């Protein structure tokens, strides 16, 4: 189950993985193409007893010492010494400032009395010259201090044709692997942080009693809708539930909450998926109808009115909500305050013009008359 959960997290946040991998590849390629090419040349040397200078007993002892590989390791240290390296650089007339760009090392090959000298640097010809010259100087130096043994050249160094670093394709492959790994971790961490953050943000925008948007967030959605849709007509419906006035003061909070939840559910059933529901205040709800002129909005709220006129049953008790609805409309390039004012004005006209009727609707439509009443008796 955990694996499936992580896979879903990665699927939802694939863009993080892709962006991280792409960034890693770009950085790796930029570093590769801007880096100085480095070349590597190697030479091999073999250590053996000097039969010309040693007695038979010395040869046996020297072979025993070679078998313990202590002499071979000593030669490796001689070849790797800074003194040999500096003297060789002077012999080849390489400036000290340039010699700093080169490095050398010697290792003993496994199961053999063979040394491998490796020189690395920015010039292919120079690394080969240095490797061979260091080997020659080491042979001379070893003859002076360890005459019982021979240090002989086995393989001479040759100038490499290609640098060993950078390797753009290899670096890009490594970068993709690291980028995907890091991106996956970031995607999972992002998902773990996003879920509680969105829950907090949602709680801050939702009216807990009704589960609709609270007024502050609803008004921000009105402004967002108007600013993003300059040519379309937007309608706002304000729904006053007169029946709630006394109920809010007399009913237990849990009953009021269930009643308000039912109102929200009714509105959701009668509206489109793009329409937005908010709780305006204690006895008012609001519905935002994008791309909906006033007459079309009046047909929508007519359905809402008919549904809200039906008694709502909570705790086996029927409650009459007595709805009044006012609708305001405006173009997308007009301020939100104008739309809200129209809806509030038409709602007041609906209440004043109801003459005892329940469920009066008053609509202000830009495409017809400034205001017209749609009243039906219950």
Q: Are 251 and 319 in contact (CB under 8 A)?
A: no
- Kindly state the helix (H) or strand (E) to which residue 106 belongs, with its residue range: strand 103-108
Tens-digit pLDDT profile for the chain (378 aa)? Answer: 567 777 888 888 888 999 999 999 999 888 888 888 999 999 999 988 776 655 555 555 555 555 555 778 888 888 999 999 999 999 999 998 999 999 999 998 887 889 999 999 999 999 999 999 999 999 888 887 777 778 888 999 999 999 988 888 888 899 999 999 998 999 888 887 776 666 666 677 888 888 899 999 999 988 888 886 667 788 999 999 988 888 888 888 898 899 999 999 999 998 988 899 999 998 999 999 988 887 888 888 889 988 998 888 888 888 888 888 888 888 777 888 888 998 898 888 888 865 444 444 555 554 434 444 444 433
Tokens of 207: 């009216």
Say if residue 144 is exposed, middle or buried (CB neighbours under 10 Å; 0-12, 13-18, 19+): exposed
For 289, the 3-state DSSP assignment is: strand
Task: Please tell me the predicted confidence (pLDDT) of residue 136.
Answer: 92
Q: What is the pLDDT of residues 139-188, one digit of tens each?
A: 888 887 777 778 888 999 999 999 988 888 888 899 999 999 998 999 88
Q: What is the pLDDT of residues 254-264, one digit of tens each?
A: 988 999 999 99
Q: Cα–Cα distance between 69 and 110 in angstroms, integer?
A: 10
Task: Please tell me the predicted confidence (pLDDT) of residue 371.
Answer: 43
Q: Which of 147, 300, 140 is nearest to 235 (CA)?
A: 300
Q: Cα–Cα distance between 226 and 224 in angstroms, integer?
A: 6
Q: Are 39 and 161 in contact (CB under 8 A)?
A: no
In Å, the largest CA–CA distance within the chain is 133
177: β partners: none
């Amino acid at each position: 189950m955990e694996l499936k959960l992580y896979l879903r997290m990665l699927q939802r946040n694939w863009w993080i993985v892709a962006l991280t991998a792409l960034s890693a590849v770009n950085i790796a390629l930029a570093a590769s193409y801007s880096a100085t090419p480095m070349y590597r040349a190697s030479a091999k040397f073999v250590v053996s007893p000097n039969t010309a200078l040693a007695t038979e007993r010395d040869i046996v002892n020297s072979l025993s010492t070679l078998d313990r590989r202590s002499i071979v390791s000593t030669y490796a240290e001689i070849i790797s010494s800074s003194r040999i390296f500096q003297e060789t650089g002077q012999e080849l007339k390489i400036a000290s400032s340039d010699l700093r760009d080169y490095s050398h090392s010697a290792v003993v090959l496994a199961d053999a009395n063979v040394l491998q000298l490796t020189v690395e640097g920015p010039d292919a010809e120079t690394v080969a010259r240095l490797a061979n010259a260091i080997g020659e100087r080491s042979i001379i130096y070893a003859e002076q201090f360890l005459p019982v043994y021979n240090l002989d050249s086995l393989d001479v160094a040759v100038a490499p044709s290609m640098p060993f670093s950078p390797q753009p394709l290899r670096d890009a492959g490594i970068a993709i692997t690291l980028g995907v790994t890091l991106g996956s971790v970031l995607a999972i961490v992002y998902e773990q942080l996003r879920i509680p953050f969105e829950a907090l943000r949602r709680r801050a925008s939702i009216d807990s009693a009704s589960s609709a948007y609270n007024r502050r967030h609803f008004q921000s959605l009105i402004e967002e809708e108007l600013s993003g849709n300059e040519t379309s007509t937007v309608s706002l419906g304000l729904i006053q539930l007169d029946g709630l006035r006394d109920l809010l003061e007399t009913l237990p909070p849990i009953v009021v909450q269930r009643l308000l939840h039912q109102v929200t559910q009714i509105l959701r059933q009668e509206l489109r998926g793009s329409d937005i529901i908010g709780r305006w205040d204690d006895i008012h709800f609001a519905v935002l109808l994008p791309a909906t002129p006033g007459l079309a909005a009046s047909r929508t709220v007519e359905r809402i009115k008919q549904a809200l006129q039906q008694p709502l049953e909570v705790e086996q008790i029927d409650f009459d909500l007595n709805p009044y609805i006012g609708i305001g409309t405006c173009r997308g390039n007009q301020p939100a305050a104008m739309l809200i004012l129209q809806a509030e004005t038409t709602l007041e006209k609906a209440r004043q013009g109801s003459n005892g009727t329940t469920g009066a609707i008053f609509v202000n439509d830009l495409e017809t008359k400034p205001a017209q009443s749609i009243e039906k008796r219950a």
